[in-house]
Structure 1
Amino acid sequence: MTIALERPVGTDPTLLVTPEVADRLTRRIVADHPEISPETALRIVGQAAGFIAASGRQPGQSLAPSNLVDYGWHAFILHTVDYAQFCEQVVGRFVHHVPTAADDDQVPGGPQAAGQRTVAAITAAGYTVDPDLWPDVADCNQCYDGCTDSPNSGGKC
């Protein structure tokens, strides 16, 4: 008996980006965070790609990256052409970065619950989760206190 899976299980999310984009983002992460090795930065790029792909396919689920994965998301966003192309090709729409307040009801259950939802969503999307890069949930403080994806950015930050 043959079983066909709709999505591959455990696909390395680094494969979602071209080698050129992965290299650009890896170099950006290392430049911004010199304490991170190039090898770890590449792993961060992969997890950020998996996070963006999973959260973009499940809008409104209040998914959030870990602190380390958020470095990858921010690096990707800075490369707007690459980011927009990635979103369109992988998700089919632009995935907005929407910081939220810690007491905002957009993050039900708080950071720990958001982290669990996010890891589950990445796994459900068929991507491998690198547990060493998911010990926490990001505390973005550019405008508010957290980062999530939302299809209704409303022009925030």
Structure 2
Amino acid sequence: MSTTATPAVRDAASLLTRAEFDGVTATVLDNNRDMAEQDARRIVEEALKFVAAAAMFPGGMRPSRTIDEGWHALILHTRVYQALCRRLGRFVHHVPERPDPTRHDPTALERTQARITEAGYVVDRTLWLGPSNGGIPVAAECEHASCGDGNCEANCSDAHPN
């Protein structure tokens, strides 16, 4: 009898201590006063998946507007973010762009989600909607450009070896 093992799914929340995760979640809530705590926790978890995948597969990844909110909150916790990137083996830089919803490229979000899946995480697809597709409203106004070749001057993640 042959059995095929199911690959383990990674738990992004475990990339931080409980106190660190709660602190980043509190920052999301502070920036989004009407947001439910459960939604903030989902956003932080998805931002962690994004950073982990960006460290594993540098270049050409883009967060959704909702995920960018969680990433911004994570970056504000500088010591936590630095330690996280060190554990992931690569510092994932955020290269900001001016808000512009016309730059939305759904294929960039699809490629990013594929990388997150390839990194071993389950994507919460409801947090990867375009800027006009509803979803959870967030304070972040970012909508990052896509570059199919990964050679943008102003992209939102630029991973470099430590």
TM-score scaled by length of structure 2: 0.75
| Aligned pairs, number | 140
AA partner of residue 120 (structure 1): A
Q: Identity of aligned pairs, percent?
A: 39
Contact 1:56 1:149 in 2 (8 A): no
Alpha-carbon contact 1:15-1:46 (below 8 Å) kept: no
- Cα deviation, 1:70-129, whole Å, max 9, x if unaligned, reads 11100010110000000111x212110012579xxxx9xx62111001110001100111
Map 1:28-107; keep pairs closer than 5 Å. Answer: 28-60=27-59, 62-89=60-87, 91-100=88-97
Question: What is the rounded CA distance, in whole Å, between the counterparts of 1:93 and 1:131 in structure 2?
Answer: 25
Q: Structure 1: 5+ residue runs without aligned partners?
A: 153-157
1:3 shift after superposition: 4.8
Could you tell which deviates more after superposition, 111-120 or 9-18? Answer: 9-18
Q: 2:127 is matched by which residue type in structure 1?
A: L
Secondary structure, counterpart of 1:35 in structure 2: coil
User: Structure 1 CA distance, aligned partners of 2:29 and 2:97?
Assistant: 26
User: Against the structure 1 CA distance between its residues 9 and 134, is the aligned structure 2 distance closer, same or farther, given a 3 Å change threshold?
Assistant: farther
Find out whether 1:116 has 2:110 as its counterpart: yes
Please list every run of 5 or more consecutive structure 2 residues that lacks an aligned counterpart in the other structure: 132-139, 146-154
- Residue in 2 that maps onto 1:13: 12
Asked whether the equivalents of residues 77 and 83 of structure 1 are also in contact (C-alpha less than 8 Å), the reply is: yes
Query: 1:111 and 1:139, CA in 2 relative to 1: closer, same or farther beyond 3 A?
Result: farther
State the TM-score, normalized to the length of structure 1: 0.77
Shift of 1:17: 1.7
**Residue 41 of structure 1, CA deviation:** 0.4
Q: Which amino acid aligns with 1:130?
A: D
CA distance in 2, matches of 1:30, 1:100: 23
Distance 1:35 1:136 in 2: 21
Tell me by how many angstroms 1:42 deviates: 0.5
Match of 1:140 in 2: 142
SS at 2:9 equivalent: coil
Letter in 2 for 1:99: P
* Cα distance in structure 1, aligned partners of 2:95 and 2:73: 15
